[in-house]
């Protein structure tokens, strides 16, 4: 492959990337949208098919040492249209705490921070 093309592709990827999130109120950077109206997009490809899920932040409340961020999903087969999900977002990670307006029986850690070598 032409070296100039490879260099161009790497440069394009670096310039297209968004800057890392900034600290909020002196807390470690939060890797999750925490502003009402912000969107989170998840896309996955399997078997040649791509699915995309968009979630819009509908509420943010400071609580439990972090922020309880509620978002409304636009719907995919595993998560029906109009389902709201609430996450506890903090410098130590992201935890799913409620779905459909009801607290889950066992909170699910989605992201643990800071990440360590060997984490999966």
- Looking at the domain assignment, is residue 47 inside a domain? yes
- Looking at the domain assignment, is residue 25 inside a domain? yes
Q: Give residue 43's domain range.
A: 20-112
Q: Within 10 Å of residue 71's Cβ, how many Cβ atoms?
A: 22
Report which of residues 79 and 43 the model is more confident about.
43
Backbone angles phi, psi at 13, to 5 degrees: -65, -40
Q: Are 16 and 9 in contact (CB under 8 A)?
A: no
pLDDT confidence tier of residue 36, bands split at 50, 70 and 90: very high
- Looking at the domain assignment, is residue 119 inside a domain? no
- pTM score of the predicted model: 0.66
User: Which range among 16-25, 59-68, 71-80, 106-115 shows the weakest confidence by mean pLDDT?
Assistant: 16-25
Number of domains into which the chain is organized: 1
């Amino acid at each position: 492959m032409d070296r100039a093309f490879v260099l161009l592709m790497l440069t394009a990827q670096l310039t297209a990337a968004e800057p890392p999130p900034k600290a909020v109120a002196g807390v470690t950077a939060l890797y999750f949208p925490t502003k009402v109206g912000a969107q989170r997009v998840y896309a996955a490809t399997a078997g040649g098919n791509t699915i995309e899920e968009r979630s819009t932040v509908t509420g943010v409340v400071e609580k439990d040492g972090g922020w309880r961020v509620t978002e409304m999903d636009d719907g995919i087969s595993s998560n029906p249209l109009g389902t709201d999900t609430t996450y506890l977002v903090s410098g130590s990670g992201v935890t799913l705490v409620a779905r459909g307006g009801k607290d889950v029986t066992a909170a699910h850690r989605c992201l643990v921070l800071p990440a360590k070598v060997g984490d999966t």
